Amino acid sequence: MIPKKFKHNIIYDTDEYTLVKKRLNKAKIKLLVVTNKSHKVIGTITDGDIRRKAGQKMLNKTKSIELMNKKPFLILNQKKISKANIIKYHYGVKINSSKKFIEIIDLNSYPLDTKTAAVIMAGGFGKRLLPLTKFIPKPLLEINKKTMIRIIIEKFLSGNVANIFVSLHYMNKKIIKEIKQIKQKNKMSINEIYEKKPLGTAGALAYLKNTDFENFIICNSDIITDFKFNDILKFHIKKKSDLTVLTNDYQQEIPYGVLNIKDNKIKKIEEKPKLNFKILLGIYIINKKVIKKITKNKRLDMPQLINQSIKNKFNINFLTTNQKIIDVSLKNELFNLNPVYKDYFI
């Protein structure tokens, strides 16, 4: 019997494109499992499979068996999933010994590496949100009745990262109180790193030199996103990176005509050109050997660490995401998420 939560994910090999598209639209997980009349799994279908087929012919009467990927990642029940397959695939289809469907496994939320820990940078003053942050430390600002630090910790837990470090300085006693409450409700290890003086956005990482972890997922405490941390961890491991940064595409329009000049002559005028940039989003993965280069108790910001790592010829990569990552240290973003805080700025 098919579990209720997967009822829209199952389709027969003889079903046509119109039903395939309808099922994909209704399914929470955007993967269809194709079965034959004996209910054996024979393939899978994603939007990507449909797009590839659409370039070849009209799809209206096309059957599932023609659209499907004939070599999906099938997981025999109770069989261990290798790290290589977790990195390679987004989803796996669990089957029994008769090749009958059991469930779809989201490999982005699957335990990938027990030698990875998370670090939440929560020691800043939140100056851009003054006077609000004179009374409430930024990590304790509430979004949908949850503090931001709780939201981030729960997000790490959903990705099976249960070893977490939190760097603290400003109003640290208030934040520690919240962390203790989170610990009581969840099985996890949360360790505080105390900054006696402000160490910037990367300086506190020096305290992790003697831990047993190999990679650290770094996240600022003022970020709200649906981005899955395992996505960047997969990328980091696949690329054998020493340091990986999460980026987004940012476009800036110059509101004037711009002159292209060569040899003191105007060669061309471009009206309101658009400049494209890759911007940092406040999420990184850093290998322990990079952290070993950080001087203890010395202020260091993340851009400085990245530049130093480039000079040291570490393997540095970037992953670009299209998912929205909200920087809650910006007033307008905070007000959109929780209008109550507007009262502090009147």
Q: What pLDDT does residue 57 have?
A: 58
Q: Whole-angstrom Cα distance, residue 268 to residue 231?
A: 43
Q: Whole-angstrom Cα distance, residue 315 to residue 286?
A: 10
pLDDT in tens, the chain (346 residues): 677 788 888 889 898 888 888 888 888 888 899 998 888 999 999 888 888 776 655 677 788 888 888 888 888 876 777 767 776 788 888 888 888 888 888 776 665 556 889 999 999 999 999 999 999 999 999 998 999 999 999 888 877 787 899 999 999 999 999 998 888 877 678 889 999 999 999 999 999 998 989 999 999 998 888 888 888 888 998 899 999 999 999 889 999 999 999 899 999 999 999 989 998 999 999 999 999 999 999 999 999 999 999 999 999 999 999 888 888 888 888 998 999 888 888 6
CATH 1.20.272.10 fits 116-345, yes or no: no
**293 catalytically annotated:** no
Active-site position among 22, 238, 272, 278: 272
Q: Whole-angstrom Cα distance, residue 80 to residue 324?
A: 33
Residues, the chain: 346
Q: Whole-angstrom Cα distance, residue 222 to residue 334?
A: 10
Domain ranges of the chain: 4-109, 116-345
Instruction: Look up the CATH superfamily of 4-109.
Output: CBS-domain (3.10.580.10)
pTM: 0.71
Phi, psi of 110, rounded to the nearest 5 degrees: -90, 140
